[in-house]
Amino acid sequence: MSTPERVVVVGFGPVAARLVEDLLPAVAAGTLALTVLGAESRAAYNRVLVAEVAVGRTAAGAIALADADELRRAGVDVRLGATVRRVDRSRRRVLLDDGAPVPYDRLVFATGARPILPTLRGLDFAPHAEPRLPEGVAALRDLDDADLLRRVVADGGRAVILGGGVLGVEAALLVQEHGAQAVLVHHGRHPLPRHVDDDAGRLLAHRLCAAGVQLVSEARAVAVQRESDRFAALELADGALVPGDLLVLSVGVRARDELAAGCGLATGNGIHVDGRLRADTEDRVFAIGDCAAVDGARPSGLIGPGWAQAEWLAAYLTRHRTPPVPAPGPADTLPAVPPSASPESVDPLPAASLPAEPPGAILLKARGLDFTSGGDVSPGLWDTDAGGRRVSIWADPQRGAYCKMVTEDGALTGFVALGLPRTAAELVLLYERGRELPADRTTLFRLEDPVAAPAAEPGPDEVLCRCSGATHGQVATARETGCTTVEEVGRACRAGTGCGGCRDRIEAVLRAAAREPVGV
């Protein structure tokens, strides 16, 4: 029997967990010896749902994606709390903070991303180091941050969220929903500026205020003020103070690529890898997930594309031993690039054999506020060009409803829908499949009529969870085999374990099963 190939994975987040899971058969067969180095003391969990843990909507155990003890019993060398000091590519080893060397034949960077620290007085700005935040300031990226927010929510305190992107808006709504006061501070005239036009933005701001969220718009934060060495207020450029019990930073993330840069690999917006996720020319070093810049493109930041990369790389590492010469040989039956398992991929991996995919639709995960957007919604109502562009708008501000659709030759290229959940669901399907809209656009709004005929039931092969690619049929099978909760369904087929946007649909499937009459 040949000597097992030593594969070392640096990082143990959601994407690394998927890679490890898919490599387990090779570990069991004795062809791979797998080591995982995780900086946190916890095994991989879903960071996207940390805010839901903070407010008590989801238990910490429900977002776990790996069990370190189970992996060790399966033969994986899992090391938690392991900080990597540097990578010695010439000797093919990873050096830990305690000086211990970890040899490898192949190395996979899955280091993810760290929160961006805004340049505020009172914060230690270090773009390529782990943030050292003062007491009362959190980035809401890990379970320790969730504990800070949990205490504020439990006390009915005041949380100041800096950043009007999707995660910032979701955090503000969650805080407000669970009995605390949320204050959302952002640069633009309205939140989600990259995903809405002005009219939708104004209506969104109105809906947030109606939910109790305090908005501080067109604001530029300049400093963090402390009392007794703890956050007390956010200072704005005009001198105004926004007091609070906790400051939540939600201004973006930056790829963790300094380890790769330190060992001579190309970086910039992430670790530069080719279409086979290789960071070197020897077929030995790879990168996946939020730290990987495929062909120089910025990482998408979405969990679905990262899982697709992990699945592809696991198959590649299993089938291809380390080449005996620096230049790798041709691949066998694997495609030239990892296919995207999720239509949410913002920057699909380039290949002539793959059709171009549109930027994925974004869904705001918030109860009582249905918001979905995709593509470019900047064209105005009267903007036309030779390409057959058409813009359609429908609005009922008193009902809190708005929809804008941008088409090119009939195909949907951008849309935003607020307060129209059934219409939005149909638009997502049309947009992500590149299909034409009906000639009479008003038929889409009839879906919202409570007496309208229900939409056709999705087929078993239709995707339910866009992050994992799990289908309606797989969720139904999980239900039929005894799964009664979203977490159980997730363990059975991975549905609902990504961004969480499909959890309501999974719950609906489970509720429908409970209502079905039992045959005699």
Residues contacting 496, CB < 8 A, separation 6+: 465, 486, 487, 489, 490, 502, 503, 506
Is residue 222 classed exposed, middle or buried when 0-12, 13-18 and 19+ CB atoms within 10 A define those classes? middle
pLDDT in tens, 186-216: 999 999 998 999 999 999 999 999 999 999 9
Tell me which residue of 485, 347, 372 sits closest to 430, measured CA to CA. Answer: 372
pLDDT in tens, 436-469: 888 888 888 888 876 555 555 677 877 788 777 7
> Can you give the C-alpha Rg of the chain in angstroms?
24
Q: Are 448 and 423 in contact (CB under 8 A)?
A: yes
Structure tokens at 321: 């031993």
Domains and CATH numbers, the chain: 5-114+254-319 (3.50.50.60), 137-251 (3.50.50.60), 370-448 (3.30.390.30), 457-520 (1.10.10.1100)
DSSP string, 408-469: ETTEEEEEEEES-HHHHHHHHHHHHTTPBPPSSGGGGGGGG-TTSPPPPPPPTTSBS-TTT-
Cα–Cα distance for residue pair 216/205, rounded to 1 Å: 10
Structure tokens at 469: 């690619």
Instruction: Give φ, ψ of 363 to 5 degrees.
Output: -125, 125
DSSP string, 347-369: SPPP-TTS---PPPPEE---TT-
Residue 272's beta-bridge partner residues?
Answer: 293
- Collapsed DSSP state (helix, strand, coil) of residue 162: strand
| pLDDT beyond 90 at 24 | yes
Instruction: Quickly state the pLDDT bin for 515 (edges 50, 70, 90).
Output: low
Report in angstroms the alpha-carbon separations of 54 from 26, 161, 164: 37, 14, 19
Is residue 464 classed exposed, middle or buried when 0-12, 13-18 and 19+ CB atoms within 10 A define those classes? buried
pLDDT in tens, 238-268: 999 999 999 999 998 899 999 999 999 999 9
Tell me which residue of 471, 472, 483, 470 sits closest to 514, measured CA to CA. Answer: 483
Q: Are 115 and 144 in contact (CB under 8 A)?
A: no
State the residue for tokens 């031993």.
321
| pLDDT beyond 80 at 113 | yes
pLDDT in tens, 116-142: 889 899 887 666 666 678 899 999 888
Is residue 330 classed exposed, middle or buried when 0-12, 13-18 and 19+ CB atoms within 10 A define those classes? exposed
Structure tokens at 49: 């749902």
334/472: higher pLDDT? 472
Q: Are 336 and 276 in contact (CB under 8 A)?
A: yes
Q: What is the pLDDT of residue 346?
A: 31
Q: What is the pLDDT of residue 355?
A: 34
- In the chain, pLDDT over 90 holds for what percent of residues? 54
